[in-house]
Every structure is written in structure tokens, then in C-alpha cells.
């Protein structure tokens, strides 16, 4: 893949970088967390990355960026049961955010696409239409499924609960409002909006180059394979994250854009 970028002062390798811009929107609702080195002691090398694309405001996405990883790492299931710890954290943050939103009368919601790396294994959890893509031997392998209202399984679930899916202004929407079918928050759209994430586990292999975690401001205009190809042409993770955002803007991307790029080889074989 690419060379690692070393910091001027420390000489340490830069394992991950993020670029986040408002784009052509008048406000910023994306939030993120980029923690490439949380621990190298008792639990083994640990990292956590997340992209949270807010809607109806920025309060839910910022709340997730502050607290979701804290809930994962403080779970009694962590580190022995990483998948269970992730599922539990999503449930707890849905409950805590819903209480805040109810008291404060907030309509905010947010997607959540997170990657935890522990002992050479990727644990990926996703709600909504942000996306996690793995580059393996130069091939783009999406590790998440976009939760869109017109997805057959999502539509069936929504309609079975009494909701509906319609097409408005070029976008399929849940109950004529939301363009994603799973998220944290959105009290007015419960129970149609689901807060249960998809979770996948994958051991990092020699063929795995890097990860991209990004909001739909990137994926609406750049395909998964194009994104991998753009990153592979850069010299390091910082240049790769910047190049992704610049490409989305050049393709007339209208949304907030956040992209995290993570070099994987330092995390393998642990």
C-alpha cells in the first residue's frame, strides 16, 4: 500500500487520519472519533473509529462521538466479548439519548458507523447510510450495508410496523421524512427507525491494506471502488483522507463530508 507518514516531532507512524468539512451545507451535522492508539497494554492493541452523520441538528451526532466508545470500553462484556459490548453500547446510547431528547424536546438523530480494532481483528457496527469499506489487495469490500428505506428487508420491516416508504425529491424516505431507515434518536419516527446495528467481525489479513469510514456525503458521489483507488494513489493516510473529500466536492457533493482512512498493517498479527 502506501508509505506511513511520520510526525515531525515524534517520528511515530501515522496510522489514521480524518478530513471533515461542511461542504456546501450551511451547517455541520457530521461528527467523528478517531482514536488510533487507545491501549497497548492489558487488552492488546486497541483502536476505535467512528463517523456519525446527524440529521435534524448536530446534537445527536456530537453526543455519539463523545460517549459511544466510552460505553463500549466500560462494558462488563469488554474485552472478552467485543460484539456483545458493541451491541450493549448501542442499546444504552439509544436509551440515554432518547431520554435527553424527550426532556429537551429534540428531534435530532444520527447514523453510526464504527470500527473497533482489537488484537488484530476488526469489529464493525453500523446504523444508517454511512459506510465502512475495506481495501484488500486493492479491491473494495464494503463491511457495512447501507440502511435505506427502499431496501427490501428494511421496507418490509417498516411496513410491518405500520410505517411507509415513499419517493420524494429524488430520494426514498421513511414516512416522507427520513432518508435512512436505521439511526439513533428520531423519537417522532419510532418504532419505524431501528436502532439495532449490524455487526461484523473480520480478522486482519496480509492482503488487507486500509479502511475507509465515511459519511454519505462521500458515498453519494464516490463509489466504494473509486474511493479505494483514490486512496491507493496517495502517499499516506492524511493525503488519502484529504483526496477523498476533495474528490467528493469536485463531483458536486452537496452534503457534509467526513472521511477517516486507517492503515491496517500495524494492527495485524496481535
Per DSSP (E only), the strands in the chain are: 5-6, 13-14, 16-21, 30-39, 46-55, 109-110, 112-118, 121-127, 131-136, 139-142, 165-168, 171-174, 184-185, 198-203, 208-214, 257-263
pLDDT of residue 6: 40
Q: What is the pTM of this model?
A: 0.93
Tell me the backbone φ, ψ of residue 82, rounded to 5 degrees: -60, -40
The predicted structure's pLDDT at residue 3? 47
Q: What is the pLDDT of residues 190-233, one digit of tens each?
A: 999 999 999 999 999 999 999 999 999 999 999 999 999 999 99
Specify if 105 maps to a domain: yes
pLDDT of residue 13: 64
Residues 45-62, mean pLDDT to the nearest whole number? 96
* pLDDT score, position 169: 85
Structure confidence at residue 266 (pLDDT): 85
What rounded mean pLDDT belongs to the chain? 93
Question: Does 179 fall in a domain?
Answer: no
Q: Is residue 257 part of a domain?
A: yes
Across 140-150, average pLDDT: 98
Contact present, 207 and 177 (Cβ < 8 Å): no
So what's the pLDDT on residue 41? 53
- 224 domain-assigned: yes
* Joined grid coordinates for residue 138: 486493492
Count up the domains in the chain and report the number: 1
pLDDT by residue (tens digit) across 96-134?
999 999 999 999 999 999 999 999 999 999 999 999 999
**What does the pLDDT average to over 58-85?**
97
> Is 226 a domain residue?
yes
Per-residue pLDDT band at 42 (split at 50, 70, 90): low
Chain position carrying cell 480524518: 18
pLDDT of residue 11: 35
Asked if residue 222 is part of any domain, the answer here is yes
Maximum alpha-carbon separation in the chain: 58
Q: Does residue 184 lie in a domain region?
A: no
| Residue 8: pLDDT over 60 | no
pLDDT score of 5: 41
What share of the chain in percent tops pLDDT 90? Answer: 86
Domain residues for 260? 5-146+197-267
Residues 12-35: pLDDT tens digits?
467 999 999 998 888 999 999 999
CATH assignment at residue 91: 3.60.40.10
| Distance in angstroms between the alpha carbons of the first and the last residue of the chain | 20
Residue 246 belongs to a domain? yes
Amino acid at each position: 500500500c502506501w508509505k506511513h507518514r511520520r510526525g515531525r516531532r515524534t517520528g511515530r507512524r501515522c496510522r489514521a487520519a480524518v478530513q471533515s468539512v461542511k461542504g456546501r451545507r450551511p451547517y455541520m451535522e457530521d461528527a467523528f472519533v478517531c482514536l488510533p492508539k487507545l491501549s497497548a497494554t492489558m487488552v492488546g492493541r486497541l483502536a476505535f473509529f467512528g463517523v456519525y452523520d446527524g440529521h435534524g441538528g448536530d446534537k445527536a451526532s456530537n453526543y455519539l462521538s463523545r460517549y459511544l466508545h466510552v460505553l463500549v470500553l466500560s462494558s462488563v462484556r469488554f474485552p472478552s466479548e467485543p460484539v456483545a459490548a458493541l451491541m450493549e453500547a448501542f442499546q444504552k446510547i439509544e436509551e440515554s439519548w432518547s431520554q435527553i431528547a424527550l426532556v429537551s424536546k429534540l428531534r435530532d438523530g444520527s447514523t453510526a458507523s464504527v470500527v473497533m480494532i482489537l488484537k488484530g481483528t476488526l469489529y464493525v457496527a453500523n446504523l444508517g447510510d454511512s459506510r465502512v469499506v475495506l481495501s484488500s489487495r486493492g479491491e473494495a469490500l464494503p463491511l457495512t450495508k447501507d440502511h435505506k428505506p427502499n431496501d427490501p428487508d428494511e421496507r418490509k420491516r417498516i411496513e410491518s410496523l405500520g410505517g411507509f416508504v415513499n419517493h420524494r425529491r429524488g430520494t426514498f424516505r421513511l414516512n416522507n421524512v427520513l432518508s435512512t431507515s436505521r439511526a439513533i434518536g428520531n423519537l417522532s419516527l419510532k418504532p419505524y427507525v431501528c436502532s439495532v446495528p449490524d455487526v461484523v467481525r473480520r480478522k486482519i489479513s496480509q492482503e488487507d491494506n486500509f479502511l475507509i469510514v465515511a459519511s454519505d456525503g462521500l458515498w453519494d458521489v464516490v463509489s466504494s471502488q473509486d474511493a479505494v483507488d483514490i486512496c491507493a494513489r496517495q502517499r499516506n493516510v492524511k493525503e488519502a483522507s484529504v483526496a477523498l473529500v476533495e474528490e467528493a466536492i469536485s463531483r458536486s457533493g452537496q452534503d457534509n463530508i467526513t472521511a477517516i482512512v486507517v492503515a491496517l498493517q500495524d494492527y495485524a498479527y496481535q
